[in-house]
Amino acid sequence: MEYFIQQLINGITLGGLYALIALGYTMVYGVIQLINFAHGEFFAAGGYVGVIVLSYLAGNGHLETHPFLCLAASFALTMVYCAFLAMGVEKVAYKPLRLQSRLAVLLSALGMSIFLQNALMLTQGVYDKAYPSELFQGGLEFGDVTVSYLQIMMVGMTVVLLVGLNLLVFKTKIGMAMRATAQDKIMSSLVSISANRIISLTFAIGAGLAAAAGIMVGLYYGSVRYDMGFLPGIKAFAAAVLGGIGNITGAMLGGLIIGMIEIFGAGYISGQYKDVFAFIILISVLYFKPTGIMGENIDDTRV
Amino acid sequence: MMRSKTWKLLMLGLILVPFVFGTASAKTLKIGSMSPLTGPYASDGTDIKNGVLTAIEVFEAAGGMPGYDKIELFPQDTACDPKQAVASANKLINLEVVGVIGAYCSSSTIPSSVTLNEEEIPMLTPASTNEAVTDRGLPYMFRLCGRDDDQAPAAAKFLKEYLKAKTIFIVDDKTTYSQGLADGVAKSAKEMGMEVVEHDHVNQGDKDFAAVLTKAKAANADVFYMSLQGYSPGALMTLQAKRLGLESQIVTQDAMFQPKFMDVAKEASEGIYLTYGFTDTSTPEYKSFEDLYVPKYGPIAAYATYAYDAATVLLKAIKAAGSTDPDKIKAEIMKMDFDGVAKRIKFNEKGDSGSSYIAYKIENGKFVPFWSPVKGLLQK
């Protein structure tokens, strides 16, 4: 039983990360029907900005005196940076192609992904960058089950971000504008909603969430590397598809499911097939329900 | 019409430029290096390239190669991918290099050495420890590092005699090197009467090992033997193991001999044992290498010293042979007997230069020679 609970906790932590990244895919798809393959790179960039900010603060000794302030500052800075990065990428690589075929934009997204990954490699080097380890040492012990403070922080932060996003999309005017744009760009522009601004905003929010996931991965696993965006990007994309691409709740659910399956597959069967299990579930769900678990709604829940 | 013709001529001219200048340039001795310069093992691959560059620098400072104005290195990126390794080997063949230092991953060295041997180009690997590298009877294949069928028994002996282990939990990440070594350790451990409670695998490129570590924690074996292809997943696994409260003693192997392992794993790496070839760091050879290498490229990691020795062997052999004829180079390599930076270098008929595996312990962020299969405890 302890074994099961321990694996459950591992699964929730990993699933939360996938959910945060998956949201970016699903929101962008909801608004402009584009699979943004460069999204994983925003996550990696977030991990790097986080390590740069935190190392700087740790070097000046602030991390020891005000750990929570430093953490909040690094999250804020990183999310803002990645939001601007994503808006820039959208302006440069996607906006000029908006009236072209969807394939053109897709290729542009792939190109952007390669460009950003190599830019990270050339500027930050090929070596792993270690995160300061002073934060969140230790954890809680319940018999044989260990829950580290880091895991608690990550799950807490993920919940806060997900609830915040839901409030933003479903309870505010901006969220209403986003949903309107997702439904019908022409109609929404007739009621003076600027599609360009909404698209920029969608990219910014998605990248901000991915950036937060990037810092958490860095803190949790202890280091970041330039190619860290690729695999989680693919898994999160799978999660978004599993949940029903275009659907926010679906992406959260999909992320959790993929994370759980990976951990339980590795924990109860064998570690070498963990990616296989995740994708088997993805394929079987899509076989019976091609629109994903939550389906692609056409009503106002889609963003 | 006119314009397109002008363009064509211009392009043709541009294409021809390198040929015109190429023939007019100084006489250059070309050697190649193959190692992963991108991807998960990029740091180890870059160390190999830097080791070779240092060897060339030293050799040129000592007078250079008679008959040549300079020595040029053509570093190739294998990405630890067998297909790309063969492609790099072919590229080096087209460049007409006289010898190749590489590769890093055994799974890259094995196929690419066949390609290079067909063209009679000597290949000296500084890092591929899998037995098959030199066991296939290729005439121009040499190895500077040790062999896994020496490393595995040395590791098992350490587990049995020093750690008094009874049960072992083994994890590898399914590469030719890591799985080969893990299988070897499992086999030797069984022969010595220890029990392998589980032998699990993870994937290359994984970052999250929570599932397999939870399994290891539940199994609670005396020793957790970690066989991974590079320091980077190793450091992540170590950190996560400590955080999860794994109580088994972690023992690992030569791929973790990288100061960056401690940079990432920090305190979690303290007290870990690993097997690695013994290098005497007090010799004058090592000291002079250190003085040259460290200011330029940073701390010395696993295979920089072996790469330096490999390049030195090749250059010395060409100089002694006075020609780039592969058979003459081979004859000179077989005659070699000198103190390199990493170890004493003398090749046997297989192309191996012997193994000298000992156990190191990580103490205060440093690799400390700890236990030798021959002499027992090295400290105190």
Indicate yes or no: CB of A275 within 8 angstroms of CB of B207: no
Query: For residue A302, is pLDDT > 70?
Result: no
Nearest CA-CA partner of A6 in A221, A164, A111, A151: A151
Query: For residue B165, is pLDDT > 90?
Result: yes
pLDDT of residue A297: 53
Tokens at B78, concatenated: 């294998």
For chain B, give the percent of residues with pLDDT over 90. Answer: 58
A300 domain-assigned = no
Nearest CA-CA partner of B252 in B151, B369, B342: B151
Chain mean pLDDT for chain B: 88
pLDDT of residue A254: 93
Q: Categorize the per-residue pLDDT at B11 as very low, low, confident or very high, splitting at 50, 70 and 90.
A: low
Tokens 């409260």: give the residue: B245
Instruction: Give the distance from residue B324's alpha carbon to the nearest chain A alpha carbon, in angstroms.
Output: 35
- Residue B243 forms contact with A (CB below 8 Å): yes
Distance, CA of B343 to CA of B334 (rounded, Å): 16
Q: Which residues, including other chains, have CB under 8 Å from residue A179's CB and lie 6 or more apart?
A: A169, A300, A301, A302, A303
Indicate yes or no: CB of A266 within 8 angstroms of CB of B46: no
- Residue A121 forms contact with B (CB below 8 Å): yes
Running DSSP on this structure, what letter comes out for residue B269? G
Chain B environment of A134 (Cβ under 8 Å): none
Indicate yes or no: CB of A128 within 8 angstroms of CB of B264: yes
DSSP string covering B233-266: HHHHHHHHHHHHT--SEEEE-GGG--HHHHHHHG
Query: For residue A269, is pLDDT > 90?
Result: no
Distance, CA of A246 to CA of A295 (rounded, Å): 9
Q: Categorize the per-residue pLDDT at B241 as very low, low, confident or very high, splitting at 50, 70 and 90.
A: very high
Peptide bond into B103 cis (omega under 30): yes
Chain A environment of B202 (Cβ under 8 Å): 266, 271-272, 274
Chain A environment of B258 (Cβ under 8 Å): none
The more confident residue out of B147 and B4 is B147
Query: For residue A5, is pLDDT > 60?
Result: yes
Distances (CA, A) of B276 to A58, B48, B138, B151, B367: 34, 17, 26, 8, 10
pLDDT of residue B184: 92
Would you say B63 and B39 are in contact if contact means Cβ atoms under 8 Å apart? Answer: no
Would you say A206 and A21 are in contact if contact means Cβ atoms under 8 Å apart? Answer: no
Using a cut of 0.90, tell me whether the model's pTM lies above it.
Answer: no
Stretch among A112-126, A226-240, B19-33, B314-328 having the lowest mean pLDDT:
B19-33
Query: For residue B380, is pLDDT > 80?
Result: no
Chain B environment of A275 (Cβ under 8 Å): 203
Write the ipTM. Answer: 0.79
Sheet arrangement for strand B100-102: B70-77, B28-35, B100-102, B123-125, B141-143
What are the sequence ranges of the domains in chain B? 10-145+303-347, 149-279+358-377
Distance, CA of B358 to CA of B343 (rounded, Å): 13
pLDDT of residue A300: 46
pLDDT in tens, A219-256: 988 889 888 898 899 999 999 999 988 888 999 999 99
Domains B10-145+303-347 and B149-279+358-377 share a fold: yes
CB < 8 Å from B in window 237-276 of A: 262-267, 270-272, 274-275
Question: CA of A271: which chain B residue's CA is closest?
Answer: B202
pLDDT in tens, B256-304: 988 889 988 888 999 999 999 888 888 888 998 999 999 999 888 778 9
Mutate which of B214, B239, B246 to test chain A, going by most A C-beta atoms within 10 A? B214
Instruction: Give the distance from residue B266's alpha carbon to the nearest chain A alpha carbon, in angstroms.
Output: 8
Chain B environment of A13 (Cβ under 8 Å): 210
Chain A environment of B203 (Cβ under 8 Å): 271-272, 274-275
Q: Categorize the per-residue pLDDT at B3 as very low, low, confident or very high, splitting at 50, 70 and 90.
A: low
Q: What is the assigned CATH class of domain B10-145+303-347? A: alpha beta
Q: For residue A190, what are the β-bridge partners?
A: none
Distances (CA, A) of B57 to B301, B308, B323: 19, 10, 20
Distance, CA of B110 to CA of B86 (rounded, Å): 9
Stretch among B16-30, B85-99, B215-229 having the lowest mean pLDDT:
B16-30
pLDDT of residue B9: 67
What's the mean pLDDT in B194-221? Answer: 90
Looking at the structure of chain A, the number of domains it has is 1
pLDDT of residue B308: 94
A303 domain-assigned = no
The shortest CB-CB distance from B232 to any of A14, A128, A139 is to A128
CATH number, domain at A94?
1.10.3470
Strand pairing category for B273-277 and B357-363: antiparallel
- Which range of residues forms the domain containing residue A59? 2-131+154-288
pLDDT of residue B51: 94
Distance, CA of B213 to CA of A7 (rounded, Å): 10
Query: For residue B334, is pLDDT > 80?
Result: yes
pLDDT in tens, A189-216: 999 999 999 999 999 999 999 999 999 9
pLDDT of residue A273: 82
* DSSP helix/strand/coil, B32: strand
A164 domain-assigned = yes
Distances (CA, A) of B248 to A148, A271, B223, B251: 19, 19, 5, 9
Chain A environment of B235 (Cβ under 8 Å): 128, 222-223
Backbone phi and psi for residue B363, each to the nearest 5 degrees, phi listed first: -130, 130
Q: What is the assigned CATH class of domain B149-279+358-377? A: alpha beta
Size of interface A-B (CB pairs under 8 A): 107
Distance, CA of A260 to CA of A253 (rounded, Å): 11
